[in-house]
């Protein structure tokens, strides 16, 4: 009695979405049940192929339930959630690439500075000729 008054106060799109969801769930469940029954009979008739068929049926039923859930969310007007794992992974990869580029840039910059710090000094040796352009013996 109390629940019926709450359901009557929902908006028309919400009621339609709920009815569509109920029809979708019942269709998926009945399809899943019939597929499971078929898989059970196949499992009894052929033991080798039944394991693969059962896995296929379970994955198909799981995919159907997932798609039904997405369809219900779309009918209700809800947007899909952000793929946080993908976003966090991309941020971590970007940070690693930035760190590597920064390290390489610092290493290249320090190598250039080390070359600039070298001073060349002319040293007069006692056995060197007075004329630097003269040939050495």
Provide the greatest CA pair distance for the chain.
119
Distance, C-alpha 35 to centroid of its chain:
32
pLDDT 10s digits, 52-70? 667 777 888 888 888 898 8
| Domain residue limits, the chain | 1-81, 82-123
- Region 93-117: mean pLDDT is 81
Residue 78 has pLDDT above 80, yes or no: yes
pLDDT value of residue 83: 85
HEC sequence for the chain: CHHHHHHHCCCHHHHHHHHHHHHHHHHHHHHHHHHHHHHHHHHHHCHHHHHHHHHHHHHHHHHHHHHHHHHHHHHCCCCCCCCHHHHHHHHHHHHHHHHHHHHHHHHHHHHHHHHHCCCCCCCCCCCCCCCCCCCCC
Work out the pLDDT band at 88, boundaries 50, 70, 90.
very high
Work out the pLDDT band at 112, boundaries 50, 70, 90.
low
pLDDT value of residue 1: 44
Would you say how long the chain is, in residues?
A: 137
Residue 84 has pLDDT above 60, yes or no: yes
What pTM value is reported for the model? 0.32
pLDDT value of residue 89: 95
């Amino acid at each position: 009695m109390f629940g019926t008054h709450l359901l009557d106060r929902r908006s028309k799109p919400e009621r339609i979405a709920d009815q569509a969801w109920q029809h979708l769930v019942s269709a998926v469940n009945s399809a899943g049940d019939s597929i499971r029954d078929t898989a059970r009979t196949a499992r009894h008739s052929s033991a080798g192929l039944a394991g693969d068929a059962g896995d296929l049926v379970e994955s198909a039923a799981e995919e159907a339930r997932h798609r039904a859930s997405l369809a219900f969310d779309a009918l209700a007007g809800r947007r899909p959630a952000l793929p946080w794992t993908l976003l966090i992974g991309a941020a971590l990869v970007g940070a690693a690439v930035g760190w590597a580029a920064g390290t390489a840039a610092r290493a290249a910059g320090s190598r250039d500075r080390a070359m600039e710090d070298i001073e060349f000094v002319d040293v007069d040796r006692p056995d060197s000729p007075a004329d630097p352009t003269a040939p050495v013996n």
